[in-house]
Amino acid sequence: MPLVSITRLRVRSLCFLPAFIWYSLRSARQASRAPGNLATQILKERKRAFWTATPWTDQAAMKNFILANPHGIAMRKLLEWCDEAALVHWLQDTKDLPDWKEAQRRLQAEGRRSKVNHPSQGQIANQIPEPRAGRGTFRLK
């Protein structure tokens, strides 16, 4: 059964956006090439929010990706760059990507917040707005 991973990050200031995008693109390319990755999709949303959706063959494959660089480096920087961060994982029968509404529903109901050094009110209240999918969706694999 594939393991789906959803993340949502919001960059807290425009000054962090160039570096965030640089590491995000490198990490997305890394994910799409990682053993066990079944698909890689990114949603760029309003107010500097970014979603990722990646199904994996198993948890070991996902963990190997998470710890490897450049993703590992980026994760440590997110503490300072982001004011909102959350993630959720679940097993499903198919390797298909969920739609963004399902990703948000799962993230809100079953997800967990990640630590950030400057949490927004939304992060503190665990409020995850529904994404507006559309032109900002990019699929790498």
Specify the CATH number for the domain of residue 35: 3.30.70.100
First to last CA, the chain: 19
Encoded tokens for 85: 């961060």
- Taken in order 59, 87, 52, 6, the sign of the CA dihedral is positive
pLDDT bucket at 121, cuts 50 / 70 / 90: very high
The number of distinct structural domains making up the chain is: 1
**How many beta carbons lie within 10 A of that of residue 67, not counting itself?**
10
pLDDT at residue 134 in the model: 66
- Which domain does 43 fall in, by range? 3-139
Kindly report the average pLDDT of the chain as a whole number. Answer: 94
Separation of alpha carbons 111 and 86, rounded Å: 7
pLDDT in tens, 81-111: 999 999 999 999 998 999 999 999 999 999 9
**pTM, two decimal places:** 0.93
Separation of alpha carbons 126 and 120, rounded Å: 10
